[in-house]
Amino acid sequence: MMQLTMLPAGHGDCLLLEYGDEALQHRVLIDGGTSGTWKRLKTHLSALPPEQRHFELVMVTHIDADHIAGMLKLLDDRELGIHFDDFWFNGYRHLPQTPLESLGAVQGERLTTQLVEGDLPWNRAFQGKAVRLQEGVGLPQWVLPGGLTLTLLSPDREKLAELRPKWEREVRKAGLDPSLPAAQPPAVPPALEALGLPDVEQLAETPFEPDDSEANGASIAVMVEYQGRRLLLTGDAHADRLIASIRRLNCWMDSPRLRLDALKLPHHGSKANLSRELLELIECSRYLVSTNGAYFRHPDAEAMARIIRYGGPSPALWFNYRSDHNKVWASRQLQRRYGYSAHYPLVDEEGIALAL
């Protein structure tokens, strides 16, 4: 059994991966969502018996507030009794050409302080160095207790190097500096239905303009394999880095497409992170969207249209919220016309679980 739960993390990611059998469950936690996510995550974890509050791996994919803020609160909580074998996170010290003593970014270094002062395992799988691809060698793999295999797809040295001079600016822009006021979300746009049903063909052919955020480019992305099932967890990774790694996987497997059981869309379904080229390198039936769309109005209609047109036969869209930004895809008319399906939480604000 492998199950991925996309917890309601606002406009961010908080993903709980569970695998194993009833007698022995294993868990991996990927990102902590926004600061407000912690209340829901804590409720979820508190329901576990104390002896099961253990994670084989905890991961923060990158420094944006909608991925890191809730994780800071988890590490602050001493009463819940959470412990883990390894914690993957690339801090300022892991960025190329950066001396260890040159620390400065506010929230990333707060997480660094928690890991160091708590003497917690940090990037143990990488001997304490950066979680990244290495030049001239294959994509690194690890097998976690219980038989879950992780293959690293992002980041590489170049993506991390691009972030180094932008670290503090990105952290402050994300509203992570407690001395700065949090950014106010833009007004929610009118529901797409008010504008009529979207033109899927036109949206799908919109020219792809790639994401240029340094923080997103530094995202950790992994392919997860367990008992013949494959799941791609992408953080906010750039399409070019994912494409390069997937091409290598396809070459190794002597296959034109990478077979996946599910893909968690990069950057919450942003049109700048999901290209037709990427979709045509995979064979996938389920596409997962983690966001309420509150800040950046994700998922973008262009990304959804690309999936509907180029994401394989009968693609299924899975959302962890029903929002003004995604409910148009529930249209029975659109689903019949294009042969896709859309899935939403049964209860609002509870997220959605997907058995794989």
Looking only at the bridges linking them, the beta strands covering 57-59 and 54-55 are: unpaired
- Nearest C-alpha neighbor of 4 from the set 228, 314, 288: 288
Does residue 139 contact residue 151 with C-beta atoms inside 8 Å?
yes
Distance from C-alpha of 274 to C-alpha of 162, rounded to nearest angstrom: 21
Distance from C-alpha of 268 to C-alpha of 289, rounded to nearest angstrom: 6
| Region class of 338: left (phi > 0), else alpha (psi between -120 and 50), else beta | alpha
* CATH number attached to the domain at 2-183+197-355: 3.60.15.10
Q: Which element (helix H / strand E) includes 73?
A: helix 65-76
Per this entry, what is the length of the chain?
356
Domain residue spans of the chain: 2-183+197-355
Coil, strand, or helix at residue 71?
Answer: helix
Q: Which residues lie closer than 8 Å to 88 by C-beta, 6 or more apart?
A: 57, 58, 59, 60, 123, 125, 126, 131, 220
Distance from C-alpha of 155 to C-alpha of 217, rounded to nearest angstrom: 7
What's the pTM value of the predicted model, to 2 decimals? 0.91
The pLDDT profile of the chain, 356 residues, written as one tens digit per residue, is 999 999 999 999 999 999 999 889 999 999 999 999 999 999 999 999 999 999 999 999 998 889 999 999 999 998 899 999 999 999 988 988 654 443 345 567 778 888 988 899 999 999 999 999 998 889 999 999 999 999 999 999 999 999 888 776 655 555 544 444 444 444 433 334 334 689 999 999 999 999 999 989 999 999 999 999 999 999 999 999 999 999 999 999 999 999 999 999 999 999 999 999 999 999 999 999 999 998 889 999 999 999 999 999 999 999 999 998 899 999 999 999 999 999 999 987 789 999 99
Q: Which residues of 293-312 are buried (b: 16+ CB within 10 A; e: fewer)?
A: bbbbbbbbbbbbbbbbbbbb
Q: Which element (helix H / strand E) includes 287?
A: strand 286-289
